[in-house]
A and B are shown apart, each in its own frame.
Chain A
Amino acid sequence: MRCKKAKVLISPYIDGELSEGERESFESHMKDCGNCRAEFEETRNVHNLFTGAERFGANYGFTTRVLANLETKTRRKELLVPLFTRFVGVVAVLMIIGIGIVSGRFIGRSFSFQKPGNIATFFPLDTFNATPPDSVGGVYLAMTEAGNEK
């Protein structure tokens, strides 16, 4: 076995992941090669650091909390769809109001092109008939005209 191959097998050897044949070849190489043996020892020291490393257990009441949160979070997820629908509704209403405001301003601006002094020319009083013939005022006037008093 060459050093390059042996170095690749250091971790699998430590972890017990080599086949019988690979393990024998590896051990044989380690006996003969000081460099590879030094690297093997260093890697094994790192592995040994974890020996006896503390294992943490879940805190008291973990299962109860998960079951409670599962219910809450599932309910919250179910609420998300109506919330989204509500959100879309609110956005639609706001958009309609916005369009109304913008178009209102646009119409207002088109009228504001007319100067105040020219309003009389824009809406001449001659065209305005306060008592059209068919209206009550028009009939009254017709009745009160000379000759129709009776």
Chain B
Amino acid sequence: MPATYSLIASNTLSSSASFVTFSSIPATYTDLVFRISSRNDIGGATYGDIAFRFQNDQGAFYGSTMVRGNGSAASSVRYLSVDSVVADWSQASNGATASTFGSTEIYIPSYLASINKVSSVFGVGETNATSAGIAVTAGLYTKTTAITRIDILGGGGSFVSGSSFFLYGIKNT
């Protein structure tokens, strides 16, 4: 159990947004955790992707490996040398039951350390239907920069109004 689990900042969208940026993240914690309740506006899918990148770095320095399922099929996917950590099937999308939102947790350990940055993502696209997406993702950013900025991306669409984002800091002492 962490010694602290403190809210750093949060935002609940009052209108749609293509992405949400958390800047000037303080260097006073050990790990970071995002708790997100979100839905994007893409097409007819009931669940969709969510993605994030560090330091506004849009180079091909990211990768992700995931297992995902939807109640009738399961698969494993890997993305290499892409411009963000992509977590498939990890939030609700436009075809989900009205007013439902997916739930996503992003855990980023040792965000200040001079090492490549790993992350883990657990996400579900909640809906009142027979098929709902769920995925667990391992993310990688192959740069050693300390993290002060994180952009959360709508996975190809915009986050709808009411989507909420909470960033927590964890200290291990």
A and B from one assembly? no
